[in-house]
Amino acid sequence: MVASLQPGSFPFCAIVAPVSDESIAVLQQIEGPVSPSELVEILQRTIDEQRATFGPSGPVDQPAAARSAEEEERRRSAQRLRQEQDAAYMESLRKDQEKERSRKSHQQGAAIAIAKPRAGNELRPRRAGQASREPIKTTTQIRASPHKETAPSHRTEPNTKILIRFPNGERRQQSFHHTDTIREVYRYVDSLSIAGIGSYQFVRSYPRKTYGQQQLGMTLRDAGFYPTVTLYIEQLQ
């Protein structure tokens, strides 16, 4: 059967159904690595799409129908939960951004208030002779240095939030700067020392894309992780 289907890559999964005593129909083919949750969703979607085709072919299995309805309800509940969590996450991010804008506005106002008296101090010595101007100019430069050093650094302000989902169902959220690389996200996960992970790679769903060793030097902005993203940990064999 595998030879007749001619899969392009492995692992390979096919969903088939009998058409007659001597032939079958291929309903769905899945090639390449997928997470367990994605595989379940694909199987469930295929069953739902083909339900009308297979319904009249035989008596209805009441226990199976009940299980299918229960599974569908669980899937819808999980989807609602994800939507609620995403909405709460976006609201939290919005509040954080408002706080950051307010803090920057306050710092800019304080810097302007400090600069005005300093400008007045620089104008008064210029009315004296040339001999007195040079020392005061030096003093002004010395006083300006601490202010320059204490100016806020935009590099230290994380503005990208990443939600990481582990195979055991655990979730962790961490903030990064958009110029950080994917290597920093790997280092964060490794620092958690969560047992049972082993070798792994990051996976982003819809559309599915993996981020492994070849993408370690990619920045979070270039990877499309800015301002938010959800990553799944996919264990490697």
Q: What is the pLDDT of residue 166?
A: 93
> Given this model, what pLDDT does residue 64 score?
74
The pLDDT, as a whole number, for residue 12 is: 72
pLDDT tens-digit profile, the chain (237 residues): 666 666 777 777 878 777 776 777 777 777 778 788 888 888 888 888 777 665 554 444 567 778 888 889 999 999 999 899 989 899 989 999 999 999 998 888 888 888 776 666 665 655 545 544 555 444 444 343 444 434 444 456 778 999 999 999 899 999 999 999 999 999 999 999 888 888 999 999 878 899 999 999 999 999 888 889 999 999 887
- Quick check: 165 and 202 in contact, CB under 8 A? no
| 112-133 CB burial, b ≥16 within 10 A, e <16 | eeeeeeeeeeeeebeeeeeeee
Residues paired with 64 in a beta bridge: none
pTM given for the model: 0.36
Cβ atoms < 10 Å from Cβ of 230 = 19
Hey, what CATH topology would domain 157-235 get? Ubiquitin-like (UB roll) (3.10.20)
Beta strands in the chain (DSSP E): 12-18, 24-31, 160-165, 171-176, 200-204, 209-211, 228-235
* Structure-token pair, residue 177: 């700067």
Residue type, 45: R
Backbone angles phi, psi at 235, to 5 degrees: -75, 140
| Local structure of 228: helix, strand or coil | strand
Residues in CB range of 16: below 8 A, 6 or more apart: 24, 25, 26, 27
Q: Tell me, what's the pLDDT at 2? A: 61
